[in-house]
Amino acid sequence: MAEEKFDAIIVGGGIAGCITGYILAKAGLETLIIERGNFAGSKNMTGGRLYAHSIEKIFPNFAEEAPIERAIVHEKISFMEEKSSVTMDYAAPKDDEKSNRSYTVLRTKFDQWLGDKAEEAGVGLIPGVRVDDVITRNGKVCGVVAGGEEMEADVVVLADGANSILGEKLGMVSKVTPHNCAVGVKEVIQLTKEQVNDRFACTDDEGTAWLFAGTPSDGYMGGGFIYTNEDTISLGVVFGLHNIEKAGKSVPQMLEDFKNHPSVKPLVKGGESVEYSAHVVPEGGYNMLPKMVGNGVLLVGDAAGLCLNVGYTVRGMDLAIASGEAAANAILAAKEKNDFSENSLSSYTKELDDSFVMKDLKLYKDLPEFLDNKRMFNDYPEMATGIMKGMFTVNGPSQPLRKTVMPYLKKVGFINLMKDAFKGVKSI
């Protein structure tokens, strides 16, 4: 039997866990975060872009204090073929409205800052300890087993990220399968601040987010990304695991080939790889969400499958923050009533339903199926680069543009083109 009972124990000191802990401790609840890594963020990875809206609500003007890298003012999307690429480029000044902005972050620094904030608010943060099990009594979760000790709490929050083993043990989360997740591999490449500025047309505190569709994921669902940090870049590839057997190479090889693509090589030239990481991305979307509330237990962030990849934006961190806030609100309301039953805690999912989290997940619920189409990552990038080549190559008499375009349209097929356009519009 445990000696001390907490109001809340949070498993995982990532973004979702630290936000939940911060709000609970600030309201005076005895809160413990247990993190298996040596410090908050030590084991965490992301592509790199944090949409500010949800964290601005909790820490107004957070970017003035938090270790953010650069504000994104430059958006690029490339369709990439073996040796060429076509890029759409959108640049706009930093938005005056702070909650409209987005920032690049490195999780080792950013999560540590959030962990410190949680500790300052009164959270007990235990790093370097893994939670091995959840204690259930009379059908209610009432604590955890960590480091060989039992620790009790009115409520346990599972913020243990994608592939929540504890959520699975409780029967709330389905086993990770190649059909509901992708894998991301990423390198952080050291350059100088001036090199980042020059190569990506940035100023000192402003930067670029760049997504690539086509060859980076070997023509299958997924893609490449580059985010500019202060004096490094985050470069990676995300790949939908259900296609792994069909792919002609491993995901680390895709990353290597992406770095060596003629459009990318000059951007990383002379840079030194200072971090290499791989992580699961929950990609099932709305149709594969787990059970998020039980008696004495809540799931937040990636553990709850709250991640959204719509092709031109990848989001999980703003959803993790909003879910942490909603979970904390539900726990505070449950504490008032001293009722931590599933029914009482279900105000969590009601708040999520009314928020952008569920609204956006619902809006894009058909997108994973739409994107899982080889034409998106093969034929269309090939068509885009081929048309550009035709338009910009002059060697003797020019031919009408329709003659350049026609072979690509024929290859894709007019019916497929119409189907994809219709389904694409419908799914967004």
Ligand X SMILES: Cc1cc2nc3c(=O)[nH]c(=O)nc-3n(C[C@H](O)[C@H](O)[C@H](O)COP(=O)(O)OP(=O)(O)OC[C@H]3O[C@@H](n4cnc5c(N)ncnc54)[C@H](O)[C@@H]3O)c2cc1C
User: Site residues (CB under 6 A) for ligand X?
Assistant: 11-17, 34-37, 43-50, 130-131, 159-161, 184, 186, 236, 238, 279, 281, 301-303, 307, 314-318, 320
Cβ 333 to ligand X, closest distance in Å?
Answer: 22
Pick between residue 98 and residue 423 the one whose CB is nearest to ligand X: 98
Cβ 317 to ligand X, closest distance in Å?
Answer: 3
Q: Which amino acid is at 423?
A: K
| Residue 428 in tokens | 């967004």
Cβ 152 to ligand X, closest distance in Å?
Answer: 17
Pick between residue 12 and residue 294 the one whose CB is nearest to ligand X: 12
Pick between residue 328 and residue 384 the one whose CB is nearest to ligand X: 328
Which of 331, 287, 323 is CA-nearest to residue 302? 323
Cβ 254 to ligand X, closest distance in Å?
Answer: 12
**Rounded-to-integer distance, Cα 356 and Cα 404, Å:** 43
Question: Is 241 within 8 Å of 220 (Cβ atoms)?
Answer: no
**Rounded-to-integer distance, Cα 245 and Cα 277, Å:** 22
Pick between residue 44 and residue 232 the one whose CB is nearest to ligand X: 44
CA atoms in the 13 A half-sphere facing the CB of 379: 17
**Rounded-to-integer distance, Cα 362 and Cα 59, Å:** 27
Cβ 72 to ligand X, closest distance in Å?
Answer: 10
> What contacts 380, CB < 8 A, 6 or more positions away?
79, 213, 412
Cβ 16 to ligand X, closest distance in Å?
Answer: 4
Question: Count of residues for the chain?
Answer: 428
**Rounded-to-integer distance, Cα 353 and Cα 293, Å:** 13
Cβ 43 to ligand X, closest distance in Å?
Answer: 4
Q: What are the DSSP calls for 378-400, one per residue? A: IIHHHHHHHHHHHHH--SSS---
Distance of CA 152 to the CA centre of its chain: 31
List Cα–Cα distances, 252 to 218, 235, 288, in angstroms: 12, 12, 27
| Residue 145 in tokens | 């087993």
Pick between residue 218 and residue 302 the one whose CB is nearest to ligand X: 302
Question: Is 367 within 8 Å of 428 (Cβ atoms)?
Answer: yes
Pick between residue 145 and residue 332 the one whose CB is nearest to ligand X: 145
**Rounded-to-integer distance, Cα 215 and Cα 80, Å:** 6
- Quickly list H helices, 67-192: 107-121, 165-169
Residue whose C-beta lies closest to ligand X: 316
- Quickly list H helices, 236-355: 251-259, 265-268, 317-337, 342-345, 347-354
Pick between residue 323 and residue 385 the one whose CB is nearest to ligand X: 323
Cβ 395 to ligand X, closest distance in Å?
Answer: 42
Question: Is 268 within 8 Å of 234 (Cβ atoms)?
Answer: no
Pick between residue 268 and residue 304 the one whose CB is nearest to ligand X: 304
- Burial track 350-384 (b if 16+ CB lie within 10 A, e otherwise): ebbeebbbbebbeebebbbebbbbebbbbbbbbbb
The helix (run of H) or strand (run of E) holding residue 42 is: none
The pair phi, psi for residue 112, each rounded to 5°, is: -65, -40
Pick between residue 142 and residue 327 the one whose CB is nearest to ligand X: 327
Cβ 305 to ligand X, closest distance in Å?
Answer: 10
CA trace torsion 238, 241, 242, 246 (10° rounding)? 80
Cβ 45 to ligand X, closest distance in Å?
Answer: 6
Cβ 53 to ligand X, closest distance in Å?
Answer: 11
